[in-house]
Amino acid sequence: MVLPEVYSEKRFGINKENISPNALSIINKLKNNGFSAYLVGGCIRDLIRGLLPKDFDIVTNCQPEQIRKIFKNSRIIGRRFKLVHITFPDEVIETTTFRSGSDSSDDALKIDDDGRILRDNNWGTQEEDAFRRDFTVNAVYYDPFNKEVIDYTSGIKDLKNKSIKFIGVPETRVQEDPVRILRAIRFAAKLNFSIEEGALRAIEKHKTKLSEMPPARIYEEIIKLFLSGHAEKSYELLSKHQIFNILFPHSRNDPRVFGNFFRKTFSNTDSRYRNNKKLNPGFLFATLLWPRIFEESAIDTKLNFRKYYQSVSSVIRKQQTISAIPRRFISFIKDVWMYQIRFNKIGKKSINFSKNIRYRASFDFLEVRESIEPKLKERIKWWKEFYESNYDKKIKMLNIYRKRREPR
């Protein structure tokens, strides 16, 4: 038995006004029904660091079926890792049951021959739950009613030292679930922490196993890496540890050629996130996969249309074996790529094109392309002015363009 470090909330200056009232009500109701319940994970990291959490996760000794009976506004999700979503008009609170991580006779915990966890619904104690979590900074618990912060794994110390450290033997934890490699990168990027040496060695040894993971899980992690406000830092770390090319083996990550292209995109993405602007996964993947399209269809930095058409479907089809891009975003990606050709064809159809629902995204993509295709500068300038002009000005611009193109 391991005794945890228990701290008063006053030590960290936790402000309860930064905690979701819905989360507090869930904890209170679980306690009133005879169960223990805590806030855990990222929300506690943020509260301790004086930040406003975006999400609140709760952990309890109440089992999913019992939670479902207590909260009529809830539903059980997941088979591999069963948990409960408690739904409110303005948010969804994820509520999980303490897991033990030890073997059981009823097949609640299933591990394959390579040590990967296939299923983990084996309930346990708070102590057992703490030691089955992935990183020390994610294993800190907070009881807002007893006003206590509970730490079994020196997570508070690692938060102070800004260190991402696996709980237990790093190699074992990565073998259990190689996707933890991407989670380590994500937390290091998000928190601006360093990854502990033992964790780095395990990541280096097992990173190629990411290609064996279910494509749907890889897609989810890519979205979290690049659409959560730290895309630029995520790209830097993925490139540094040579993981980017594992996630996108059919793209091309040559910093000398495409570094500025990616950095410009990710800088814009992070800026949009900070300003609460909509982020489209389709635009993200259009950018991430563009280098291969460009290389396969370029002749002297100009698009070869025949090769271009052939490359578009091929690149997406190959990427799908790594990350399962939803169909609605595949349609978006293809449109944005195909409409790049339309920017080369200025004529009577240009007015209708500028009204197309995909025009704005396609033009934004054209602007990003300029970092590797400087010759696009004048074309971008023309289309920007054209888009912002009224109908009469558009006609005038088309006539001027046509006269310049006519042979003398």
Q: Angle 215-226/180-191 helices, nearest 10 degrees?
A: 10
**Residue whose C-alpha is closest to residue 184's, from 232, 219, 133:** 133
Please give the structure tokens belonging to residue 209.
Answer: 């196993």
Residue 132 vs residues 98, 109, 168, 177, 178: alpha-carbon distances, Å: 10, 12, 9, 12, 15
Contact yes or no for 58/95 (Cβ under 8 A): yes
Sign of CA dihedral 227, 233, 237, 238: positive
Catalytic residue among 57, 129, 151, 158: 57
- Does the annotation mark 46 as catalytic? no
- Does the annotation mark 270 as catalytic? no
Rounded distance, CA 208 to CA 212, Å? 8
Which residue in the block uniquely carries the two structure tokens 């280098």? 291
- Does the annotation mark 90 as catalytic? no
How many whole angstroms from its chain centre is CA 343? 31
Rounded distance, CA 234 to CA 189, Å? 5
Task: Name residue 194's beta-bridge partners.
Answer: 163
Interior CA angle at 18 toward 15 and 22, to 5°?
125
Residues comprising the chain, all counted: 408
Catalytic residue among 55, 143, 335, 364: 55
Catalytic residue among 46, 106, 112, 134: 134
**Catalytic positions, please?**
55, 57, 134
